[in-house]
Structure 1
Amino acid sequence: MKIIVLGSAAGGGFPQWNCNCRNCAGLRSGSLRATARTQSSIAVSKDGNDWVLINASPDILAQIRATPALQPARSRRDSGIAAVMLMDAQVDHVTGLLMLREGKTLPLYCSASVWDDLNTSLPLVPVLSHYCGVRWHALHAVDGGPAMLPVEVPGIEGIRFTPLSLTSKAPPYSPHRTHPGVGDNIGLLIEDLDKGTSVFYAPGLGAIEPHVEAALRGADCVLVDGTFWTQDEMTELGFSRKSAADMGHLPQSGAEGMIAVLDSIDARRKILIHINNTNPILDDDSPQRATLARHGIEVAFDGMEIHL
């Protein structure tokens, strides 16, 4: 199984276009040793030719240009993207669908609640119906609980995707925002059925529930929420009145933060993704980055490849 990190930043990317925090200003001026990042998305393949795109960020065209494997050029009009799978209906995870409008009908895997949002409150599907069109493949919950039925994507044989419903936040425009339900946000257990290896992918993770802990403990690689370093990061900087928890994210620091969670599991690789532009771990020389290194935790970057 091959995984390419197409984008590793949270919404807005890094540097964010209108932000002059220490990180963004430092990257622009060259005073900070850091690497620019686009908004989070990964691609998964078995053979290196056909890929499942997990989330379609607004930066998808730049990400495709930077990733030759997504353009195998087998015909005059071609793409290595065999299907798109969505974790939620957030703007930074779905609006890239509009950039794929020139292609063939788009196979789209998502939950019923995300599909509903994309037909109503953020109506991308009706818009795309005038271009390539979308063929929906539902990700089904099992008896209303957090477990969801595994799926295999045609053309990506040998890889199984098992969605897990997560406690996080639906988008602000979603009618489910204050009444979250199964499928508003998912994590993915992605398994290579031939090799028996797996990765757990969860760019938005607000709580470590029992089924999430089981997925973390069973995976060879975890690629999880790295949005904020502290619970009050955005409030201290004056950028928001909301905490990390209010936004549906588990910060890295603190007694019950992501570092403590990752210290408790034995995965071969532990990687943070969906990193907000304010997070000090973006500074290669920061003490926070050194802390992650001591704990054996990596920071995802655009173009990172994972082979399992």
Structure 2
Amino acid sequence: MVLGIAQDAGYPQTLCYRPHCMPAWQDKSLRKMATSLAVVDHIHKAQYLFEATPDLPQQLYLLQQEWSNPDYQLQGVFLTHAHMGHYTGLMHFGRESASTKQLPVYAMPQMRSFLENNGPWSQLVKLNNIELKELQNKREVVLGNVRVTPVLVPHRDEFSETVGYLIKGKTKTALFIPDIDKWEKWDTAIEELIPQVDYALLDATFYSADELKGRTMAEVPHPLVVESMNRFRELPPEQKRKVIFIHLNHTNPLLDSSSPESLAVTDAGFRVASEGLVLPL
């Protein structure tokens, strides 16, 4: 289940009062939460969260609304990297809030070290609110009917490495890569990986190169949506349908499903993620 589709800072973004942000300040129904997924194993009544965003309380409530059975328990959190929208929600598991007991948090070695050695995250470890589980690149983790494999991707790794995930259910597989610098920097050909999965939730931070007024795009490299669509143009229709664009910056016109850019994406055979979207595994 998709719990959020926006870039780390959500939509609208702090201190953004420009025309593209104002509608969401004025109408709460237009707001979008930071990118996050939940995976639900119905056989074992287990829930797994992918990313701990600043919007974590609302996202867990969204999940609870979909599956309100009290027997369903959050059994783990998988982190991709140490940028604000992907791990800072861990604070809500601390003693000032939920005060969880040894909640498994899955992280790569550098990400684990970052959490262990920097406050306030280190307090979560010290007080046993969370229990860090170290991941290894391309090493599968088996959790009931869910199999999760982290895959390293190139990104701005100031504090930790960055991974995407292959998430396998009983019958289908999802690829989740919310952040990557550029597809061509990766040692895996993304257009060859898409046919191997059933869903590909991919980095769509920026639609085009003219979104960041007054800033250089080189500071925050991502595959532009127009670049990705061009790269995937030779894929057959059934493969294009697997591509679901996610992690949208507050400037991204895909946040408006009626925008010309959104229509261009769907006309080309691709999809844009939406909060509450359920993808059977």
| TM-score interval, normalised by the smaller of the two chains | 0.7 to 0.9
What is the count of residue pairs matched by the alignment? Answer: 268
Deviation sequence 1:251-289 (CA, Å, 0-9, x none)? 112xxx111234344154221111111011112332111
Distance 1:35 1:272 in 2: 18
The SS at the match of 1:272 is: strand
Cα offset, 1:63, TM superposition: 1.1
Cα offset, 1:43, TM superposition: 0.6
Q: 1:297 aligns with which of 266, 270, 277?
A: 270
Q: 1:189 aligns with which of 161, 166, 169?
A: 166
Q: 1:188-267 maps to which residues of 2 (within 5 A)?
A: 188-192=165-169, 194-195=170-171, 197-208=172-183, 209-213=186-190, 214-234=192-212, 237-238=213-214, 241-243=215-217, 245-253=218-226, 257-265=227-235, 266=239
Deviation sequence 1:205-227 (CA, Å, 0-9, x none)? 22223425243231111101111
Cα offset, 1:232, TM superposition: 4.0
Counting aligned pairs with the same residue, the percent is: 25
The equivalent residue for 1:149 is 139
2:77 corresponds to 1:84: yes
Closer/same/farther in 2, CA of residues 83 and 70 from structure 1, 3 Å limit:
farther
More helix by share: 2
- State TM-score, norm by structure 2: 0.87
Amino acid at match of 1:84: V
Deviation sequence 1:23-54 (CA, Å, 0-9, x none)? 21133356xxx832111110112217311111
Cα offset, 1:59, TM superposition: 0.6
Question: Which runs of 5 or more structure 2 residues have no equivalent in the other structure?
Answer: none
Deviation sequence 1:199-248 (CA, Å, 0-9, x none)? 110000222234252432311111011110113421xx22xx231x5324
Distance 1:123 1:64 in 2: 24
Closer/same/farther in 2, CA of residues 278 and 210 from structure 1, 3 Å limit:
same
Cα offset, 1:297, TM superposition: 1.8
The equivalent residue for 2:49 is 53
Q: Say if 1:166 and 1:186, in contact at 8 Å, map to a contact too.
A: yes
Q: 1:15-30 maps to which residues of 2 (within 5 A)?
A: 15-29=12-26
- State TM-score, norm by structure 1: 0.80
Cα offset, 1:10, TM superposition: 0.5
Q: Say if 2:25 and 2:31, in contact at 8 Å, map to a contact too.
A: no
Amino acid at match of 2:216: K
Distance 2:234 2:92 in 1: 40
The equivalent residue for 2:148 is 161
Closer/same/farther in 2, CA of residues 294 and 161 from structure 1, 3 Å limit:
same
